[in-house]
Each structure stands twice: as C-alpha cells, then as structure tokens.
Amino acid sequence: MWSETNNKLERTFEFKDFKESIAFIQLVAFAAEKMDHHPDILMFAWNKVKITISTHSAGGVTEKDFSLAQKIEERIK
C-alpha cells in the first residue's frame, strides 16, 4: 500500500528473490523513463525495493506522482 509521508509517495515491495527484485526495478525504470518522471529506488535485504515518488519542482506530490504509482501497480499484477 502506498503512503504519503513528508510530501512523498512511498511503498516497499517484497519479492521472492534477488532476481525478481532486479526485474521489478527494471520495470519501474522503463515506466519512469517513458513518463520522464524518475522515482528514488532503494533495494535492500536482497529482496526488498522501496520506491519514493515526488515532484521536486512542485515541492511535493502531484498528479504525475499518482500516475507513476498507478503504472507501477499495474506492472506488478
């Protein structure tokens, strides 16, 4: 579930293994590049990926952030 904290959308995803985590990061990267809207991506504990999204130029969360979050959700289902 996405949470809104400190003017950012955040969610941590957990996968079955390292390879699945990396594949997810690649999916996020392609979606972000297509939108020209790039999140912060942190991989930790070999199977967890934290995505943080905000529009720095707007100083917080915008519709573009919600749109990217939705695209990420669609890619993991």
HSE-CB of 60 using CA atoms within 13 angstroms:
4
Split at pLDDT 50, 70, 90, the class of 76 is confident
What average pLDDT does range 2-27 have in this prediction? 96
- How far apart are the C-alpha atoms of 64 and 77, rounded to whole Å? 21
The pLDDT value recorded for residue 18 is 97
Split at pLDDT 50, 70, 90, the class of 77 is low
pLDDT tens, residue by residue, 15-68: 999 999 999 999 999 999 999 999 999 999 999 999 999 998 888 999 999 999
Please report, for residues 38, 39, 58, the alpha-carbon distance to residue 55 in angstroms, rounded to integers and kept in the order given: 9, 9, 5
If 0-12 CB within 10 Å is exposed, 13-18 middle and 19+ buried, where does residue 11 land? Answer: middle
